[in-house]
């Protein structure tokens, strides 16, 4: 099967949302939708969602599922808004519960915040096939970037989220809580690279190395030959050494605190408090503790 894949690129977060459709039946899924967010004004908006909805309507598509490859650390998910507008349920990898437990503690979320994944309509297990109307969506657990990451195989198309990027860039980082370079190596090298070389690969982000134009489609074969961080012949020890050294130099994602606390709650923004205002929690000096005057301490 060769599904139709339509990308929507968000330059603010380098994210690509995909609409994947069966051209015969018009059944479709949406993968990793973006809710626009301006961090300076702390203001959400819906221009990305509006474009998606206009495309879905004009194409006559029946969106059966909204799929998340993981709880993103760089953009807010638009899944709840699309769920309401399209009456489509939301699914994510089953290990999201581990991510919820971790970040409930980090953000000191209320006791009533659930860590059983029940905010999502379905939790997906490795190897299962989710039927989205006529579209068979095979779930491939690809932990490493986070423990809950999954890739979706739909016909000859593979959607890798933050596990595997373009053939000229590399892989996702592994320095988030419970991330693991060794796990990512096994996910990509042992599982994704075992797929046929002509499998089309659609990546969750594109960071445009050397200033090239945004791109989001490659193949398993080209990745195995050319990926500068993880080729077919790259050993586990070589990759882990490289990945851990590189990750130690990377700054945190720009929207990590805003995004994660929303996305572990299935994209639901915080409820309004008694003054009618919604608030996000932003830890202070988490990566470098300070005293009460803001002076760094060892």
Q: Residue 262: inside a domain, yes or no?
A: no
Residue 260: inside a domain, yes or no?
A: no
Per-residue pLDDT of the chain (298 residues; tens, 9 = 90+): 899 999 999 999 999 999 999 999 999 999 999 999 999 999 999 999 999 999 999 999 999 999 999 999 999 999 999 999 999 999 999 999 999 999 999 999 999 999 999 999 999 999 999 999 999 999 999 999 999 999 999 999 999 999 999 999 999 999 999 999 999 999 999 999 999 999 999 999 999 999 999 999 999 999 999 999 999 999 999 999 999 999 999 999 999 999 999 999 999 999 999 999 999 999 999 888 999 999 999 8
The domain spanning residue 210 has which CATH number?
3.60.15.10
> Does the residue 33 lie in any domain?
yes
Asked whether residue 278 is domain-assigned, the answer is: no
Among residues 154, 132, 157, 134, which one has the least CA distance to residue 25? 134
Q: Where are the alpha helices (DSSP H) in the chain?
A: 47-59, 79-86, 96-107, 181-185, 220-226, 236-247, 256-263
CA nearest 117: which of 104, 135, 127?
104
Considering the domain boundaries, does residue 297 fall inside one?
A: no
Question: Which of helix, strand or coil describes residue 122?
Answer: strand
| Residue 166, domain member (yes or no) | yes
Domain range for 222 is 4-251
| Domain contains 170 | yes
What pTM did the predictor assign?
A: 0.97
Cβ neighbourhood burial of 283 (10 Å; 0-12, 13-18, 19+): exposed
Residue 137 domain flag: yes
Residues 297/290, Cβ–Cβ less than 8 Å: yes
- Number of domains forming the structure of the chain: 1
* Distance of alpha carbon 153 from the chain centroid: 15
Confirm if 56 and 28 have CB atoms less than 8 A apart. yes
Residue identified by tokens 């819906």 is 46
Beta-sheet pairing, 27-31 with 15-21: antiparallel
């Amino acid at each position: 099967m060769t599904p139709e894949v339509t990308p929507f690129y968000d330059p603010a977060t380098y994210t690509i949302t995909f609409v994947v459709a069966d051209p015969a039946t018009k059944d479709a899924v949406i993968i990793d939708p973006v809710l626009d967010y301006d961090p300076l004004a702390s203001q959400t908006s819906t221009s990305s969602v509006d474009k998606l909805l206009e495309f879905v309507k004009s194409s006559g598509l029946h969106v059966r599922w909204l799929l998340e490859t993981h709880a993103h650390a760089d953009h807010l998910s638009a899944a709840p808004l699309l769920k309401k507008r399209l009456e489509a349920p939301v699914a994510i990898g089953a290990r999201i519960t581990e991510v919820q437990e971790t970040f409930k503690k980090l953000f000191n979320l209320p006791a009533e915040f659930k860590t059983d994944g029940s905010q999502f309509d379905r939790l997906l297990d490795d190897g299962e096939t989710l039927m989205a109307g006529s579209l068979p969506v095979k779930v491939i657990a690809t932990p490493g970037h986070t423990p809950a990451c999954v890739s979706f195989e739909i016909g000859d198309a593979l959607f890798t989220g933050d596990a595997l990027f373009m053939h000229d860039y590399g892989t996702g980082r592994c320095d988030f809580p419970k991330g693991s370079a060794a796990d990512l190596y096994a996910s990509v090298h042992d599982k994704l690279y075992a797929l046929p070389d002509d499998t089309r690969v659609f990546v969750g982000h594109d960071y445009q190395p050397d200033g090239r134009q945004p791109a989001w489609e490659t193949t398993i074969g080209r990745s195995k030959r050319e990926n500068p961080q993880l080729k077919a012949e790259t050993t586990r020890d070589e990759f882990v050494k490289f990945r851990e050294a590189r990750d130690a130099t990377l700054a945190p994602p720009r929207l990590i605190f805003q995004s994660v606390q929303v996305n572990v709650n299935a994209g639901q923004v915080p409820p309004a408090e008694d003054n009618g205002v919604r608030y996000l929690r932003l830890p202070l000096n988490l990566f470098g503790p300070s005293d009460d005057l803001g002076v760094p301490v060892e």
